Amino acid sequence: MARFIILRLLFTFVALIGIVIIVFFLVRASGDPLSLLSSPNMTEEQYDAINERLGLDKSWGEQFIIYMGDLAQGDLGESLFRERPVIDMIMESLPNTLKLIVPSFIIAILLSLFLGVIAAAYRDSFWDNGVKFIAVLGQALPGFWVAIMAVLIFSVYLRWLPVQGMATPANYVLPVTTMVFFILPGMMRLVRSSMLDVLDSEYIKMARIKGLPERLVIWKHALRNALITPLTVAGLIFAMLITGAVITEQVFNWPGIGRLLLETTFARDFPVVQAITIITAVFVLGINLLVDISYAYIDPQIRYQKS
Amino acid sequence: MLSIIPRIDEKPEKRYTGGLSRRTRITRKLTLIIPATILILMVIIAIFADLAWLGLPDVGLAPHDPDSGEITDRFLPPAFMEGGKTDYLLGTDRLGRDVLSRVIHGARISLSISMLVIFITAFIGTVLGIISGYLGGRLDGLIMRVTDMALSFPGILLALLLAVSLGPSYWTVVLALSLLGWAGYTRMVRGEALRLRESDFVAQARISGASSWRIMLKHIFPNTINSLIVMMTLSVGMMIIAESTLSYLGVGVTAPTASWGSMVSDGRSYLDTAWWMSFFPGVAIGLVVMSGNFLGDWIRDRLDPRLRQV
Amino acid sequence: MSKVLLQVEDLRTFFFTRKGMVKAVDGISFHVDEGETFGLIGESACGKTVTALSIMRLLPEPAGQVVDGKIILDGVNLVELDKKEMRKYRGKVISMILQDPMTSLNPVFTVGDQIAEAVRLHQGLRDEQVTEEVISALKLLQIPAPEMRLRDYPFQLSGGMRQRVVGAIAMSCHPRLLIADEPTTALDATIQAQYIALFKDVQEKTNVSIIFITHDFGVVANMCHRVAVMYAGKILETATTREIFKEPKHPYTNALMQSVPRLDQKGGRLYSIKGQPPSLRDLPPGCRFFPRCPIAEDICQQQEPAEVEVTKGHFVSCWRVQ
């Protein structure tokens, strides 16, 4: 088990470095961000001065080494255009994104567990068809469009809810609903199919043979086994959350990391883009690692094999 | 003693009614016909939007030029609403361009990108999956790790990065989607390869001295085709949504080109005055994706009930 | 004279599938006395398991339905009970053992928990009493060091041991009827013998009636008092084990016995019955065994034979034996 963990850690680390390298060079390959900063009247000297100040006159290799050095010290650099440390910008936006993601995630998990289990247990019933219907709609209609239509209906026509900003609780309704809409169908499907598989197994038959009420068969015996699979897709869910956050923040002008990322991408403010990408990569890899370890932990077989 | 006189049955054979009602069977058929028709129509629309590829840009299904419009005709509502003109069935946008024509041309972009990416990713994914599943060992471990990462890496980030490097464009989207899209295929095909590896006919082939490559090509691959078809059909929807999302964000096929995503983005600023700009492209997306999903489900039910997921 | 515990009359269970109606069990009748082991033998897919599931009322719905017939246990027709009432019977009056011990136990719960669950459900006992019952169930199935096993997870036990645990779960509430669906098929030959001896011991101690489903005549000879031979959803012959081995009347029974290779007859080809069992979806009108029967005649193809009592307690459905 220990060996397993160490190997995975090693791999994670290597992958991380690989990603940093790729991001670093990709971002610079695009073109000169200075053209956005400078005005046409600038003299060559002024141009050079800015170039030097921002460290962009050095070769890519040099830039990379400097960057890695900074990174090792936890310094993510400074934004090219706003002249602020990237860390500050990130720390400012992160809480806003969390305020969006966390409630959405919790709501989505609860809903999907409940709906997914019911849909699997009462196949082809009204509930099952309802769940399937939501799943179909959720996966067919693009999230950004649904969000915009929601704005159209609830903000423009009905005037029930505000269009943008974070000020009041009412502001949260649409964005959170949009986020939930993003991740719910996928999760529901997952729970449902996992449950369906489990419900087919022999030990569930045994549970019924014992005479257990269906309620116990499903919520106690089946669910515990069914939950093992969704764990695998924790990584996938995280990716869904990020995508959802970026889009939601764009539609509602929500001042979170997603919106920050978009803005800085278009402005070619690469220190910021780099930093956000790397942090995300760290999370993604971290989650993958955690999932692998939890798997080994939860499955009693693997747990006991150590002893 | 054998009796030659046949016995008369005392109990006439009861009619046991059961099985599927007519309604269910009809619904089942419809689940195939409707999506398939919609998809075929969409493909036709995409191909015949205009005949520019035949050198006749002014001939085609799209009533107007998608890229230019009459400023005097801007913000016209759809024809069925008050103030609309029959000339512009779905209304016009801020530059007076016909929404219907733009939606039609958008089909071309979305469908072509999707198909392209699907074929690329299916190819790569299958190759990797078969190798990984059949050959196993360290190679398998490595490929699976990379696959896991590709699966959990948010594609949007990659797309943004590529947009920064290469500029937003048609091919940027294709690249972005392809770079991560193969992972789903790899995982699935690998599963199949693992299963098939243990089957008798493979053992037979090995005994007859066939090489690994030969086995993979002639025995394993043909048995994965069924699942591949299902996955590819189901991918259509995902790809279209991915592409339109990227275009909406400005990272894909951007304005002024008429892609469904960019149209929604354009229309966002005019929700109160011209909601149809954003509405209809979204409907188009939903229609195609739903059709793709239903069709994929239907195919899967027919080809292999074992794959039953939803 | 033993009392009759279970009486099955003209049971018909059909499956309604997309491709048609499958007559899995098409009119079978038999009875099981108290304290006896009744064997149900036949090829795969002849309807043995479906019969068991029909008695337990655990058919996969909505596809599988008992469309006709009676299943009378102690005067109560199980077919007529509603779901709630039937549940009370399951585990407490009738219990079942499935074929594959490797998958019959829930992997995430301990052995003790799984047995205790059944006990708690059917008998309102205090915790210490529950544990006592669990341990006595384990002892009944001769599981060594039962107190230690309570906290074990299924994967820590061998196949044979798991099957005993399944048995313990089944017997924990002292049922009157136990249905064993090929419980020895997945076990090694050496363990099989042990297991059968175990069954007999359990039966002696508890007087439970057993319906033993198998495809192995050796097991039948060892274990069952009476036996019924099933084929394509029908029972072709019913008799005491002795009778059936001494004087099998139905050509199918004969053929089955001949297919078993014997140590005392060397050489020659192994005998196997030519052909395949009929599709249960479109059945021809006459005797089901007709296409493969070596002594069939015209009437066999036209009409299904009626059941005839050849000697006392020995029933056969065959035109040639009348």
Segment A76-121, tens digit of pLDDT: 677 766 777 788 888 888 888 888 888 888 898 888 888 878 777 7
What's the CA angle centered on A136, arms A132 and A140, to 5 degrees? 170
Please tell me the distance from the alpha carbon of residue C25 to that of residue C48, in angstroms, as a whole number. 8
Please tell me the distance from the alpha carbon of residue A59 to that of residue A63, in angstroms, as a whole number. 6
Answer with the residue of higher pLDDT: C319 or A236. Answer: C319
* Residues from chain C contacting residue A201 (CB–CB below 8 Å): 103
Q: Which sign, positive or negative, has the C-alpha torsion B102, B104, B108, B114? A: positive
Average pLDDT rounded to a whole number, residues C39-44: 88
Digit-coded pLDDT (tens) for A265-286: 877 777 788 788 888 888 878 8
Give a yes or no: residue B61 inside a domain.
Answer: no
**Cβ–Cβ of B282/A149 closer than 8 Å?**
yes
* 8 A C-beta contact, residue C95 and residue C170: yes
In single-letter form, the type of residue at position A84 comes to R
Burial class (CB in 10 A: 0-12, 13-18, 19+), B114: buried
**Coil vs helix vs strand at A269:** coil
pLDDT band at C225 (very low <50, low <70, confident <90, very high): very high
Which of C49, C106, C121 best tests the A interface by mutation, with the highest count of A CBs <10 A? Answer: C106
Compute the 3-state secondary structure of chain B and give helix, strand, coil in percent, each to the nearest 5.
70, 0, 30
What is the length of chain B?
Answer: 310
**Cβ–Cβ of A27/B161 closer than 8 Å?**
yes
**DSSP-derived secondary structure letter, B73:** G
Give a yes or no: residue B194 inside a domain.
Answer: yes
**Cβ–Cβ of B244/A151 closer than 8 Å?**
no
pLDDT for A263: 86
Give a yes or no: residue B150 inside a domain.
Answer: yes
| Residue B81's CATH number | 1.10.3720.10
Chain C neighbours (≥3 Cβ pairs under 8 A) are: A, B
* 8 A C-beta contact, residue B282 and residue A145: yes
Per-residue pLDDT of chain A (307 residues; tens, 9 = 90+): 677 778 778 878 888 888 777 777 776 666 665 655 555 666 677 667 666 666 666 666 667 777 777 776 666 677 766 777 788 888 888 888 888 888 888 898 888 888 878 777 777 777 777 777 877 888 888 889 988 888 888 887 777 777 666 667 777 888 888 888 888 887 777 777 777 778 878 888 888 888 888 888 888 888 777 776 666 666 677 778 888 889 988 888 888 888 888 888 877 777 788 788 888 888 878 877 777 777 666 565 554 443 3
Which residue in A114, A128, A173 sits closest to A147, CA to CA? A173
Domains of chain C: 1-93+176-183+206-286+304-322 (3.40.50.300)
Burial B152-172 (b: 16+ CB within 10 A, else e): bbbbbbbbbbbbbbbebbbeb
Give a yes or no: residue B151 inside a domain.
Answer: yes
pLDDT for A306: 36
A residues 92-151 lying closer than 8 A (beta carbon) to B: 132, 135-136, 139-146, 148-149, 151
**Cβ–Cβ of A236/B152 closer than 8 Å?**
yes
Give a yes or no: residue B43 inside a domain.
Answer: no
Cβ–Cβ contact A26 with B under 8 A: yes
* 8 A C-beta contact, residue B278 and residue B267: yes
* Residues from chain B contacting residue C69 (CB–CB below 8 Å): none
Give a yes or no: residue B59 inside a domain.
Answer: no
pLDDT < 50 stretches in chain B:
1-15, 307-310
Give a yes or no: residue B21 inside a domain.
Answer: no
Average pLDDT rounded to a whole number, residues C301-307: 82
* Residues from chain C contacting residue A196 (CB–CB below 8 Å): none
Token pair, residue C130, equals 């529950």
Q: What is this model's ipTM?
A: 0.79
| Residue B130 belongs to domain spanning | 71-308
Give a yes or no: residue B27 inside a domain.
Answer: no
pTM: 0.72
Burial class (CB in 10 A: 0-12, 13-18, 19+), A50: middle
CB atoms within 10 A of CB B220: 26
Dihedrals φ, ψ of A181, to 5°?
A: -60, -35
Closest-CA distance of chain C to residue B308, Å = 16
Domain total for chain B? 1
B residues 2-21 lying closer than 8 A (beta carbon) to C: 2-4, 6-7, 14, 16, 18-20
